[in-house]
A and B are shown apart, each in its own frame.
Chain A
Amino acid sequence: MKLEMRDQPGQLVAALQPISAVGGNIIAVIHQRETPAATEVLDVQIVLELPEGRLEKLLELLREQGVNVVRIGEQRLLYECTLITIGHLMHTDLSDTVDRIDTTGSAEVTDLSLAMPAINAPSSARITIRSTTREEMKKAIRILRSVAEQKDLLIIEPLEGV
């Protein structure tokens, strides 16, 4: 997600401490010169990752520090993970498998490629999942693993994490 604030002296430093206090992870700090340039005021955008449910706490801490948050950007799906699954995907209701991830709210299947070689032969699918946080991704993969166990599907995970 993205926080925007005025770059007044000390604001950035004041913002960093609360972010780490709530377990957040700063991905980028972007200074943006406002138009018209004459104002000499900078906007600062902080792109960060937050554990689920910590946004309210962060905003409270930032207010206490006197940081003026101008805008809270959209929560973006920052993390991506592609897996392959093999088995009787249609017989075991592929759309239900996908739904079980989508219903988590913070992770979703954004891409699916299916290969069905022959009737009754196991089919293979490549599933791309996106999520807002690393934790959510881990949760989505755990869900997928347990669904796979129930439905007797093989899940091939990437070697390197998300």
Chain B
Amino acid sequence: MRIAILGFGSVGRGIARAILAKNLDLAVTGLADSRSGIIDPAGIDIAAALARKEGGAPCGSPDVSPADVVAKADYDVLVEVTPTNVDDGEPALGHIRGALRRHKHVVTSNKGPIALAYPELRDLAAANGVFLRYEATVCGAIPLIHAMQEGLAGNTISRLYGVFNGTCNYILTRMAEDSLTYEQALAEARELGYAEADPTYDVEGIDAAIKLVILANAILDMRTTLDDVERTGITLLTPEALRLAEDQDCTIRLIGEVVPEAGVLRVSPRIVSKVHPLVVEGTLNAVTVGTDLAGDLTFIGKGAGSVETASAVIGDLLYIRDRHVQGS
């Protein structure tokens, strides 16, 4: 199967490394970063592109734009792994629409287009007879969407809640462990590369809220937007509050929660018993899905990381490969 990759950062390179390391039967015929692109129907030399990128150079030629790759390259699946834009989803949204209209499947890790335009993109994919898959948009390596769509098909999901943001979970873990202040724990998370220079998106609960919107719209058949999520971040938490929780064998975690029946969509710090399965350490993610037939299921795993997120993208790619007749 032939793929074109848009975005050659942490996730894009993770995918490239996995393709090089394993026999996944995937040929890369298009590749672009923000400033360059390559189109090669015979298959791009991925190792060379990785070496260029890691040496600080663009991955391809400045004459080839991402839009050229979308419109002109020969591929079966567009892999869209560029940065998330939650305001209008662009330019990824346009690229995804372009590929779907060309009857190309799309796999993305980009939360923006899925959170903002899922119903439209789903219909566009269906109209063109192709798949649109987005496992990596929620909880990195955890195959939560696959599990809910396939493994739990036939169940009614009554509640879905958990730790959707590894950065916040790291900060709260550290505040509880060593009585660090929020600022100290954030500084440490930055040093380790777990938090961005501007951490707003994570610590204010926006990232978790976007993931809830994706799950609500794509899996739970709700029609919601980011504004519908009641949201409180972790910036005001104190080490004393964590200690007060600790005194009762509890701790505090940033929990995202969807209760479809009650229309609840909420991200907020919550008091959780330390023995609760959602109390995971460090940057891990954990999600409990409450269902009528299967009961409660809790998924725990890495919510981010280069190869970990690539795992979710590759799962989607192979899902498509196994279900479609390969293109010419």
The interface residues of chain A lying within 8 Å CB-to-CB of B255 are 159
Asked if residues B271 and A83 are in contact (CB atoms below 8 Å), the reply is: yes
Asked if residues A123 and B240 are in contact (CB atoms below 8 Å), the reply is: yes
Query: From residue 269 to 307 of chain B, which have CB atoms closer than 8 A to chain A?
Result: 269-273, 276, 278
Shortest distance from the beta carbon of B278 to any chain A beta carbon, whole Å: 7
CA distance in complex: A115, B246 (Å): 13
The interface residues of chain A lying within 8 Å CB-to-CB of B241 are 84, 86, 115, 124, 156
Given contact pairs A115-B240, A115-B243, A82 touches B248 in the complex (Cβ within 8 A):
yes
Within 8 Å of chain A (Cβ to Cβ): is B232?
A: yes
Given contact pairs A159-B161, A159-B271, A159-B278, A154 touches B236 in the complex (Cβ within 8 A):
yes
Asked if residues B245 and A86 are in contact (CB atoms below 8 Å), the reply is: no
Consensus secondary structure, chain A interface: strand
Bits for A29-67, please: 1 = Cβ < 8 Å to B, else 0: 000000000000000000000000000000000000000
The interface residues of chain A lying within 8 Å CB-to-CB of B248 are 82, 126
Within 8 Å of chain B (Cβ to Cβ): is A157?
A: yes
Asked if residues B270 and A157 are in contact (CB atoms below 8 Å), the reply is: yes
Consensus secondary structure, chain B interface: mixed
B-contacting residues of A (Cβ < 8 Å)?
82-84, 86-87, 113, 115, 117, 122-126, 154, 156-160
Sample of 9 A–B contacts (CB below 8 Å): A82-B271, A122-B236, A126-B248, A154-B237, A156-B270, A159-B270, A159-B271, A159-B273, A160-B273
Within 8 Å of chain A (Cβ to Cβ): is B178?
A: no
The interface residues of chain A lying within 8 Å CB-to-CB of B245 are 84, 126, 156
The interface residues of chain B lying within 8 Å CB-to-CB of A122 are 236, 238
Across the interface, name the chain A residue whose C-beta is closest to B243.
A115
Asked if residues A84 and B278 are in contact (CB atoms below 8 Å), the reply is: no
Across the interface, name the chain B residue whose C-beta is closest to A154.
B236
The interface residues of chain A lying within 8 Å CB-to-CB of B278 are 159
CA distance in complex: A83, B269 (Å): 11
Within 8 Å of chain A (Cβ to Cβ): is B268?
A: yes
Query: From residue 225 to 258 of chain B, which have CB atoms closer than 8 A to chain A?
Result: 232, 236-241, 243-245, 247-248, 250, 252-253, 255
Shortest distance from the beta carbon of A96 to any chain B beta carbon, whole Å: 21
Asked if residues A156 and B240 are in contact (CB atoms below 8 Å), the reply is: no
Across the interface, name the chain A residue whose C-beta is closest to B245.
A84
CA distance in complex: A40, B273 (Å): 47
CA distance in complex: A124, B239 (Å): 9
CA distance in complex: A159, B236 (Å): 18
Asked if residues A117 and B240 are in contact (CB atoms below 8 Å), the reply is: yes
Q: Give the interface centre of B237, B241, B276 by most chain A CB atoms within 10 Å.
A: B241
Asked if residues B252 and A156 are in contact (CB atoms below 8 Å), the reply is: yes
Shortest distance from the beta carbon of A45 to any chain B beta carbon, whole Å: 31
Kindly list the 6 A-B residue pairs having the minimum CB-CB distance in the complex, ordered from nearest.
A115-B240, A124-B240, A124-B241, A126-B244, A159-B270, A158-B271
